Amino acid sequence: MADRGSSAAAISFRNATRRFGGRRRLRAGPFAPTAAVDGVDLEIAAGRITGIIGYSGAGKSTLVRLINGLERPDDGHVIVDGTDISNVGERQLRRIRGDIGMVFQQFSLFSSRTVAGNVEFPLRVAGVPKRQRAARVKELLDFVGIGDKAKHYPRRLSGGQKQRVGIARALATSPKILLADEATSALDPDTTSEILTLLRRVNRELGTTIVVITHEMDVIRDICDHVAVLDHGRLIEHGDVYDVFARPTSPITRRLVRGAVGDIPSDETLARLRTRHPGKFVTVAIRDTGNGENPAGQAVTGGDDALEHFTRAGVDVAIVYGGIVELARRPFGAITFAMRGDDDRIAEAVSGLRTITEVIEHDEAGV
Ligand SMILES: Nc1ncnc2c1ncn2[C@@H]1O[C@H](COP(=O)(O)OP(=O)(O)OP(=O)(O)O)[C@@H](O)[C@H]1O
């Protein structure tokens, strides 16, 4: 589908805060108003896919509503495509909203309109002439892969097809920014994967800046370039997806990463493994230490190096757990070994390994 001349837009949060329930809470007790978004400083890069993740109530939806101006910050600033929208009037806000498409968890389609009618709707609102609308709707439906469903009503569509309509509708007016709020949370894993692939295509082919709001780290793993982790309204961690997965600094991020990668055995898994495998357990990180931008330059550090160190030190090992996934198109994972042999030799092998990658030694008590 042709990019209709929209260039990507960046979004900046500068110490942005949004509080709710101030006076009532203050009268009820000695608490300050609840900050749903609390002093967030975040740059969302133009033309990239950024994921906002956090548990329920972390402030994700409020952050999104600050981007499209449905909420205004009580303190700080929100800058969308160069305009500080913290204090702009409704007219200017409407213009900015025209550059922002939204995709929702529950699709939010008009049940009384056909698929084509749903996608056409924002074009009507924008005053696009009828003939152009028809051509644009066809182009959009072909792009999202449901060109044959134009005359169907939403009730006859699967969840995945409904979300394709939602994406086509969101793209109708060529927005610079697409906000996807839990867009795959109502879908099964295979359909989720198809919709995420479509979103990535939107980003690659149209250059749209995409902000993905999710509580699932798998979604971040599968399509995002950058990730921001929210907790109680605060930005607790953000950065390049590979870096955040490889070196999560907060316990919440560590928990989210573990859920999405499954590479480090849990205490229960370790206990089960110990019943089958004697020896000391060690988990070795598998990382791409090369140039992430260039697949040919990938240098995978971890598995083979580990085996080499063990062999050199004369330590017997069995691979007992682990896995490697592709993260931001780079290999990422960990392998857990059960080591048998002389304590000094094991210590030598482990300290050698520590010079090249991250190593977790598991003691008998657990992780
Ligand atoms: N309009 C509102 N009035 C009062 N409190 C609100 C309002 N909107 C959000 N909140 C509160 O702000 C906090 C953050 O809510 P928000 O919906 O942004 O979180 P979330 O991360 O999107 O959660 P979920 O994943 O459950 O949708 C919550 O404590 C919520 O109760």
Give me the interface pTM, i.e. the ipTM. Answer: 0.96
Q: Is the CB of 56 under 6 A from ligand 1?
A: yes
Token pair for 326? 């592709």
Q: Which two tokens stand for residue 351?
A: 């300290």
Ligand 1 near 60 CB (within 6 A)? yes
Per DSSP (E only), the strands in the chain are 11-20, 34-44, 49-53, 75-80, 83-84, 100-104, 177-181, 209-214, 226-231, 234-240, 280-288, 300-301, 316-327, 330-340, 359-362
> Does the Cβ of 191 fall within 6 Å of ligand 1?
no
Give yes or no for residue 215 CB within 6 A of ligand 1: yes
**Predicted pLDDT at 1:** 73
How far apart CA 354 and CA 132 sit, in angstroms, is: 62
| 339, burial (CB in 10 Å: exposed 0-12, middle 13-18, buried 19+) | buried
d(CA 103, CA 248): 29
The residue whose CB lies within 8 Å of the most ligand 1 atoms, and thus the one to mutate among 13, 20, 74, is: 20
Ligand 1 atom 24: residue of nearest CA = 56
* Chain segment 60-102, per-residue pLDDT in tens: 999 999 999 999 999 999 999 999 999 899 899 988 999 999 9
Are the CB atoms for 237 and 53 separated by under 8 Å? no
Enter the pTM of the model. Answer: 0.85
C-alpha–C-alpha distance, residues 291 and 301, integer Å: 13
CA 228 to CA 37: how far, in whole Å? 13
Residue with tokens 């092998």: 349
Q: Rounded distance, CA 132 to CA 286, Å? A: 52
List, for the chain, all residue ranges whose pLDDT scores fall below the cut of 50: 5, 24-28, 294-297, 366-367
Q: Is the CB of 36 under 6 A from ligand 1?
A: yes
Q: For position 328, what pLDDT does the model report? A: 79
Residue 59 Ramachandran class (φ > 0 left, ψ -120 to 50 alpha, else beta)? left
Residues 315, 254: Cα–Cα separation, whole Å: 30
For 133-150, the pLDDT digits (tens) are: 999 999 999 999 999 999
For ligand 1, whether the C-beta of 61 sits within 6 Å is: yes
Cα separations in angstroms, 242 against 55, 97, 226, 339? 20, 31, 8, 29
The residue whose CA is least distant from atom 14 of ligand 1 is 59
Q: How far is the CA of 82 from the centre of ligand 1 (A)?
A: 27
Give me the pLDDT at residue 244, please. Answer: 92
Does the C-beta of 57 come closer than 6 Å to ligand 1?
yes
DSSP letter for 202, please: I
d(CA 345, CA 329): 36
Looking at residue 248, its amino acid is: P
- Residue 298 Cβ inside 6 Å of ligand 1? The answer reads no
43 CA distance to ligand 1 middle (Å): 22
Cα 223 to averaged position of ligand 1 atoms, centre (Å): 25
Q: Please tell me if the CB atom of residue 20 comes closer than 6 angstroms to any atom of ligand 1.
A: yes
Cα 192 to ligand 1 centre (Å): 25
CATH architecture of 11-99+175-259: 3-Layer(aba) Sandwich (3.40)
Distance 346 CA to ligand 1 centre (A): 50
What would be the CATH architecture of the domain defined by 262-362?
2-Layer Sandwich (3.30)
- Please report, for the chain, the start and end positions of each structural domain, with discontinuous segments joined by +: 11-99+175-259, 262-362
80 SS3 class? strand
| β partners of residue 210 | 49, 178
Cα–Cα distance measured from residue 129 to residue 327, given in angstroms and rounded to the nearest whole number: 44
For residue 154, report the distance from its CA to the centre of ligand 1, in Å. 29
The DSSP secondary structure of 224-272, one letter per residue, reads -SEEEEEETTEEEEEEEHHHHHHS--SHHHHHHHHHHH--SPPHHHHHH
Tokens of 181: 């709020």
Q: Which residues contact 344 (CB under 8 A, 6 or more apart)?
A: none
**Cβ-based burial of 303 (10 A; exposed 0-12, middle 13-18, buried ≥19):** buried
Read off the tokens for 264: 């480090």
Number of the ligand 1 atom closest to the C-alpha atom of 59: 18
